[in-house]
C-alpha cells in the first residue's frame, strides 16, 4: 500500500513554518509498512491544490492532507478537496454543536467565519477534533482513501492517533509492532556505534536510533502475522540490546523521562523540591507536566538573582563572592539549602550561564552546574552545553532529570 | 519568477529526518520576491525523481534540489538530473583535485565511490562545497534554471549563501520587504474578520494572518523597485490595520511577547516576581528566556501545593478552605502575598486545573485564574482553556504575559 502526504499552506511555502507534520506522518506510516513515495507542499490556492490532488489520486492509494481547515477565507482545503472528489459540502450537525459549545465554554463569541468549520463533504466520515475547532474527515472512493487533517500539530497528532491510526492498521497486511527503548545519559552516535553490528544485520525486527533532545530512543519494529510472534521477535532483540546499553535505558513504555522519575520517587516515598537559576522554572515546569505530581513535588524556587539564592536557599554571601554564582560550591549550597528549607528527601538545583551574554574565558556560555541531593548525599556535576540560550537551558533541564534518575537507580 | 524546491532522499519519506532545507530555501526565496508554488519530497528512486523533475521543469522557472549527492550507489540525484536534461556526466578536474586534497588533509583514504562526486553534467556551472565532498551545480536551459545542492544543511546553507543567492539576486526584478504586526489577546478568526475588507482587496502589499500559540501575527509584504517605496506601501497598510486592531499589536520588530514585556518593565523601572501553581515554572521559564532579565525579574515561586501557597505567598488557610486553591480569591491572595514578600512593583500569579484529573463540575479542567499586580492594583481574570494538560498550561502562560502587557499599556 502506498501513501502520499500533502501539506497545504502558503505559510509553508513562505518558509514561515517547518513541515513537521510530514515527518510525523511519514514515520507513522513507515512503522505500519505503508510506503510513502511522495510528500508535497502546496499553497492555499485552488488551482494548484487541485492539480496536486488529482495527481496523487492517480498514483497513490492513501492521501493524507494537513492544513487549510481554518475559519478564514484563505483556508480552502476542504472546499477544494470536495471539488476534486465531486462532492458538495453539507453541514455536520454534531460538529456544529461541538463548535458552538467550544466557544460557549470559553466564554467567547463565535465569529461567523467559524461556521464553515462545521461543513463536511457529503458522505465523509468526520474525525473529531478534541483540541481545536476544525474537524477532520475521511472519504473512501474506489481508488483512494483521502484523509484530511488540521495543520496545527497539537490538533493533527491526537486526531491521527485517535481516529486515523486504527483505520490504517485495519488496512495493513500483517501487523506491525514496535517498542521503543528510551535511553538517557548517552549520545546517539555512541549508542549507534555500540549496537552497529545489530543495525547492520537487521531484517525483521528492524532497529533505528532517534535522537530526542538529550535522549536517544531505540525503536525496534517487527512485522508479523500475529502479535505473540512479533512480541517474541522484539523481546529477543531487546535482550541483546540491553546486554550492551541496558544501563542507559530508563523505560520501554509510553512514559516520559520526568514521568519515570516521578514514579520512582513516589515508589520510594520520596519528595522533591527544585531550585533553578538559568533554567528559570523550566525543570519544574517539565516535572509538573506529570498529572497528580503534588504528592511528590513540594515546591520550587526560581532564584535567578544572587539575592534570591541567599534569601530562599540560604546560600552564603561568601560562597557567591568567592566562587561566583556559577560554581560547584554554589550549586552544592543551593541544593543543600533547598532540601533543608523545603524538608524534602530529594532536590535538584541548577546554576549556569545560558548566554548569549555573561560568559567569560573562565566561565564560558554553556557552563552549567547541576546538583542533586538524594539518599542523604549531594552530587554536583559540571557541564558544557552547546547551542543558543534556549538549547543550553533545555539541555540542562534534561540533564537534571537524568542525574536524579541515575541517583534513584544507583 | 517562480521556484520549486525538490528534496531528494528516502530518509525524508521514512520520517527519519525533518526537511528543514525546504523551509530555509523557501524563506530565502520569499525574501527575494521569488514565489515558491510547490515543495516536493521524493525518494532516491530514478523513475519517481524523473517524473517530479519533468513536471517541475514544465511549471516552474527555477528548480532547486537538495540531497542525493553522496558517494553511495543509492545517491542518484546527479545521474537522474543529467538524464532529465539530456546531458552526460563528465569529470570536473578542479572538483577531483579538491576531493583528493580533502581526503589527504584529513589523513583518510578516499573510497573509490567518492570519485563519482567529481562527475558533473557537461556545461554545468560547478558550485564549490567548502564544507563537504559533494560539489553542487547549476544548469541553465531555455526554460529553466536548475540548481542542485547537497542535503546536509551545514553544506547546503553556505553553498546557497556563497554561490546561489548572488545569482538569484541578479535575476530578481524588484525587492520584497515584509513587516510582521504581532498581536496578542485576540483570536485569529476575530482578527481576520475585522480586517477582512483589507485582506479581500490586497494586491501590493499583501497581508496574511498567522496563528502562533496564543498570538496572531499579521505579515504585510510589499514588492517594489526600491526600499523606500516598499516601506511606504507597508506603512500605509500598517496605519490602516492599526486603526482597527491597534490595541492588540504589541510589537512590529523581532522581539517576542516576553521580550516586549520585559523591555517595558525595564523602561518603567519596574521589577517582577512570579508565583505559579498549575503552570509550575513555565511562565518564569519563558520570561527568563530573555537574556539579561535579572534587573527586572527578581524571583519566582512554584507553589503547586497548598502548603507552599501558604508558606511562601502567605495565602491564608481560610481562603484556601473557603474558596479552594483554584479561585479568584486565592489568585488575588497569591499575587498580593507574592509582591509583598518579594518587594517587586509587579507580579503575576497563576492557579488552575490543568487536568487531565482534578476537575469537577463546578471547577472543570481548563479553569485557570490569573492575577496581575501592576501600578498599585490587582486584576484577576478567569479563563477556560481547552486542550490537554500541556496546552492548558501553555495558554495560561501566554495569557499571563498578555495580562501584564495590557496593564503596562493601560
Q: pLDDT of B10-38, one tens digit each?
A: 889 989 889 999 999 998 898 787 899 99
Contact list in A for residue B389 (CB cut-off 8 A) is: 289, 291
Rounded percentage of chain A residues whose pLDDT exceeds 70: 100
CA of B200: how far to CAs of B183, B194, B203, in Å? 20, 12, 9
Structure confidence at residue A33 (pLDDT): 80
Query: According to DSSP H, which parts of B32-132 are helical?
Result: 46-59, 77-85, 93-105
Average pLDDT rounded to a whole number, residues B110-120: 84
Confidence band for B102, pLDDT divided at 50, 70 and 90: confident
Beta carbons of B193 and A288 less than 8 Å apart: no
Average pLDDT rounded to a whole number, residues A295-300: 95
Structure confidence at residue B72 (pLDDT): 76
Return the closest-CA partner of residue A181 out of A95, A259, A248.
Answer: A248
CA of A76: how far to CAs of A119, A154, B202, in Å? 12, 20, 18
Cβ contacts below 8 Å, chain A against chain B, sum to 274
pLDDT at residue B317 is higher than 80: yes
Q: Does B284 touch chain A (CB under 8 A)?
A: yes
Give B109's DSSP letter. Answer: P
Of A15, A112, A297, the CB nearest to B26: A15
Give B358's DSSP letter. Answer: S
Structure confidence at residue A103 (pLDDT): 84
Q: Which range is least confidently modeled, A126-140, A325-339, B76-90, B91-105?
A: B91-105
Partnered with residue B223 across adjacent β-strands are B176
Partnered with residue A373 across adjacent β-strands are A347, A378
Beta carbons of B187 and A108 less than 8 Å apart: yes
Q: How far apart are the C-alpha atoms of A392 and A383, rounded to whole Å?
A: 10
Q: How far apart are the C-alpha atoms of B191 and B246, rounded to whole Å?
A: 11
CA of A360: how far to CAs of A217, A280, A353, A357, A380, in Å? 35, 21, 10, 9, 21
Of B15, B282, B386, the CB nearest to A102: B386
Return the closest-CA partner of residue B11 out of B131, B149, B151, B150.
Answer: B151
Structure confidence at residue B234 (pLDDT): 96
What cell was used for B201? Answer: 482587496
Confidence band for B66, pLDDT divided at 50, 70 and 90: very high
pLDDT at residue B191 is higher than 80: yes
Average pLDDT rounded to a whole number, residues B390-403: 93
pLDDT at residue A74 is higher than 90: no
Give B164's DSSP letter. Answer: I
| Residue-averaged pLDDT of chain B | 92
Partnered with residue B119 across adjacent β-strands are B91
Partnered with residue A276 across adjacent β-strands are A302, A350
Give B376's DSSP letter. Answer: T
Average pLDDT rounded to a whole number, residues B223-236: 91
Contact list in B for residue A154 (CB cut-off 8 A) is: 387-388, 390-391
Beta carbons of B304 and A281 less than 8 Å apart: no
DSSP 3-state assignment of B176? strand
Q: How far apart are the C-alpha atoms of B195 and B341, rounded to whole Å?
A: 45
DSSP 3-state assignment of A362? coil
Cis peptide before A356 (omega within 30 of 0): yes
Q: Does A256 touch chain B (CB under 8 A)?
A: no
pLDDT at residue B281 is higher than 90: yes
Cis peptide before B134 (omega within 30 of 0): no
Q: Are B275 and B338 in contact (CB under 8 A)?
A: yes
Cis peptide before B256 (omega within 30 of 0): no
* Mutation target among B49, B285, B305, B385 for the A interface, most CBs of A within 10 A: B285
The residue that leads in pLDDT, B225 or B394, is: B394
Q: Are A252 and A223 in contact (CB under 8 A)?
A: no
Structure confidence at residue A65 (pLDDT): 98
Q: How far apart are the C-alpha atoms of A296 and A348, rounded to whole Å?
A: 13
Contact list in A for residue B367 (CB cut-off 8 A) is: none
Rounded percentage of chain A residues whose pLDDT exceeds 90: 72
Give the torsion through C-alpha atoms of A69, A70, A73, A76, to 10 deg. Answer: -10
Q: How far apart are the C-alpha atoms of A199 and B71, rounded to whole Å?
A: 21
Beta carbons of A71 and B385 less than 8 Å apart: no
Q: pLDDT of A203-244, one tens digit each?
A: 889 888 877 777 888 989 888 888 899 999 999 999 999 999
Count of C-beta atoms within a 10 Å radius of residue A21: 26
pLDDT at residue B113 is higher than 80: no
Query: Which A residues 80-99 touch B at CB under 8 Å?
Result: none
Structure confidence at residue A316 (pLDDT): 98
Q: How far apart are the C-alpha atoms of B316 and B321, rounded to whole Å?
A: 9
Query: Residues of B219-256 as b/e, b for ≥16 C-beta within 10 angstroms?
Result: bbbbbbeeeeebeebbeebbeebeeebeebbbbeeeeb
Structure confidence at residue B74 (pLDDT): 76
pLDDT at residue A254 is higher than 90: no
The residue that leads in pLDDT, A275 or B209, is: A275
Please report the domains of chain A, with CATH numbers, ordered by start residue.
2-171 (3.40.980.10), 175-251 (3.30.70.2860), 257-408 (3.90.950.20)
Q: How far apart are the C-alpha atoms of B324 and B317, rounded to whole Å?
A: 10
Count of C-beta atoms within a 10 Å radius of residue A46: 14
* Mutation target among B9, B13, B297, B363 for the A interface, most CBs of A within 10 A: B13
Please give the distance of CA A305 from its chain centroid, rounded to a whole number.
Answer: 31
Average pLDDT rounded to a whole number, residues B124-144: 93
Q: Are A270 and A346 in contact (CB under 8 A)?
A: yes
Of A41, A302, A358, the CB nearest to B284: A302
Structure confidence at residue B296 (pLDDT): 96
Give A300's DSSP letter. Answer: E
pLDDT at residue B266 is higher than 90: yes
Average pLDDT rounded to a whole number, residues A124-146: 94
Phi-psi region of B52 (alpha: psi -120 to 50; beta: other; left: phi over 0): alpha
* Mutation target among B23, B30, B32 for the A interface, most CBs of A within 10 A: B23
List, in order, residues 6 or more apart from A315 with CB less than 8 Å away.
A306, A309, A330, A333, A334, A337
Structure confidence at residue B47 (pLDDT): 95
Q: Are A46 and A54 in contact (CB under 8 A)?
A: no
The residue that leads in pLDDT, B379 or B102, is: B379
Rounded percentage of chain B residues whose pLDDT exceeds 70: 100
| Long-range contact set of residues A123-127: C-beta below 8 Å, sequence gap at least 24 | A123/A87, A124/A87, A126/A92, A126/A94, A126/A95, A127/A159, A127/A163, A127/A164
Confidence band for A170, pLDDT divided at 50, 70 and 90: confident
Structure confidence at residue A272 (pLDDT): 98
Return the closest-CA partner of residue A70 out of B191, B72, B86.
Answer: B191
Q: How far apart are the C-alpha atoms of B232 and B202, rounded to whole Å?
A: 15
Average pLDDT rounded to a whole number, residues B364-374: 97
Structure confidence at residue B89 (pLDDT): 95
Q: Does A10 touch chain B (CB under 8 A)?
A: yes
Return the closest-CA partner of residue A128 out of A92, A152, A168.
Answer: A92
Evaluate the CA torsion angle B219, B222, B226, B229 in order and state its sign: negative
What cell was used for A217? Answer: 530512543
pLDDT at residue B352 is higher than 90: yes
Structure confidence at residue A189 (pLDDT): 77
Q: How far apart are the C-alpha atoms of B21 and B6, rounded to whole Å?
A: 10
Query: Which A residues 206-225 touch B at CB under 8 Å?
Result: 208, 210
| Residue-averaged pLDDT of chain A | 92
Q: pLDDT of A4-36, one tens digit each?
A: 999 999 989 989 889 999 999 999 998 888 889
Contact list in A for residue B15 (CB cut-off 8 A) is: 22-30, 36
Average pLDDT rounded to a whole number, residues A96-114: 83
pLDDT at residue B111 is higher than 80: no
Confidence band for B376, pLDDT divided at 50, 70 and 90: very high
Of B22, B210, B289, the CB nearest to A16: B210
Average pLDDT rounded to a whole number, residues A161-177: 86
Beta carbons of B305 and A294 less than 8 Å apart: yes
Beta carbons of B293 and A304 less than 8 Å apart: yes
Structure confidence at residue A112 (pLDDT): 80
Q: pLDDT of A352-377, one tens digit each?
A: 999 888 899 999 999 999 999 999 99
The residue that leads in pLDDT, B312 or A103, is: B312
Structure confidence at residue B30 (pLDDT): 85
What cell was used for B41? Answer: 519530497
Return the closest-CA partner of residue A284 out of A235, A349, A219.
Answer: A349
pLDDT at residue B115 is higher than 90: no
Q: What is the DSSP string of A307-324?
A: HHHHHHH---HHHHHHH-
Q: Which of A92-106, A234-248, B194-208, B385-399 has maximum average pLDDT?
A: A234-248
Q: How far apart are the C-alpha atoms of A148 and A117, rounded to whole Å?
A: 13
Amino acid at each position: 500500500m502506498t501513501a502520499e502526504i500533502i501539506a497545504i499552506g502558503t505559510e509553508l511555502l513562505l518558509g514561515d513554518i517547518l513541515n513537521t507534520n510530514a515527518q510525523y506522518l511519514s514515520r507513522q506510516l513507515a512503522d505500519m509498512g505503508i510506503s510513502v513515495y511522495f510528500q508535497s507542499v502546496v499553497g492555499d490556492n485552488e488551482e494548484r491544490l487541485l492539480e496536486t490532488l488529482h495527481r496523487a489520486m492517480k498514483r497513490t492509494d492513501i492521501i493524507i492532507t494537513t492544513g487549510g481547515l481554518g475559519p478564514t477565507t484563505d483556508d480552502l482545503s476542504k472546499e477544494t478537496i470536495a471539488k476534486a472528489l465531486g462532492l458538495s459540502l453539507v453541514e455536520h450537525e454534531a460538529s456544529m454543536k461541538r463548535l458552538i459549545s467550544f466557544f460557549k465554554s470559553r466564554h467567547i463569541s463565535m465569529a461567523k467565519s467559524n461556521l464553515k468549520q462545521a461543513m463536511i463533504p457529503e458522505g465523509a466520515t468526520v474525525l473529531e477534533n478534541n483540541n481545536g475547532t476544525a474537524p477532520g474527515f475521511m472519504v473512501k472512493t474506489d481508488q483512494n482513501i483521502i484523509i484530511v487533517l488540521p495543520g496545527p500539530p497539537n490538533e493533527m497528532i491526537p486526531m491521527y492517533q485517535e481516529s486515523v491510526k486504527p483505520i490504517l492498521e485495519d488496512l495493513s497486511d500483517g501487523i506491525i509492532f514496535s517498542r521503543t527503548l528510551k535511553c538517557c545519559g548517552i549520545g546517539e552516535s555512541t549508542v549507534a556505534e555500540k549496537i552497529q553490528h545489530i543495525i547492520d544485520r537487521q531484517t525483521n525486527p528492524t532497529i533505528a536510533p532517534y535522537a530526542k533532545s538529550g535522549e536517544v530512543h531505540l525503536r525496534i519494529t517487527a512485522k508479523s502475522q500475529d502479535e505473540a510472534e512479533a512480541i517474541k521477535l522484539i523481546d529477543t532483540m531487546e535482550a541483546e540490546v540491553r546486554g550492551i546499553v541496558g544501563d542507559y535505558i530508563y523505560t520501554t513504555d509510553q512514559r516520559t523521562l520526568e514521568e519515570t522519575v516521578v514514579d520512582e520517587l513516589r515508589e520510594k516515598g520520596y519528595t522533591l523540591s527544585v531550585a533553578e537559576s538559568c533554567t528559570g522554572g523550566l525543570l519544574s515546569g517539565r516535572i509538573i507536566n506529570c498529572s497528580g505530581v503534588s504528592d511528590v513535588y513540594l515546591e520550587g524556587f526560581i532564584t535567578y538573582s544572587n539575592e534570591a539564592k541567599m534569601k530562599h536557599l540560604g546560600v552564603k554571601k561568601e560562597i557567591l563572592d568567592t566562587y561566583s554564582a556559577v560554581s560547584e560550591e554554589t550549586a552544592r549550597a543551593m541544593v543543600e539549602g533547598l532540601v533543608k528549607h523545603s524538608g524534602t528527601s530529594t532536590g535538584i538545583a541548577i546554576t549556569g550561564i545560558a548566554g548569549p551574554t555573561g560568559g567569560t574565558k573562565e566561565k564560558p556560555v554553556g557552563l552549567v552546574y547541576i546538583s542533586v541531593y538524594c539518599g542523604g548525599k549531594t552530587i554536583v556535576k559540571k557541564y558544557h552545553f552547546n547551542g543558543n540560550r534556549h538549547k543550553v537551558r533545555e539541555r540542562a533541564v534534561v540533564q537534571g532529570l537524568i542525574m536524579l534518575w541515575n541517583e534513584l537507580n544507583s
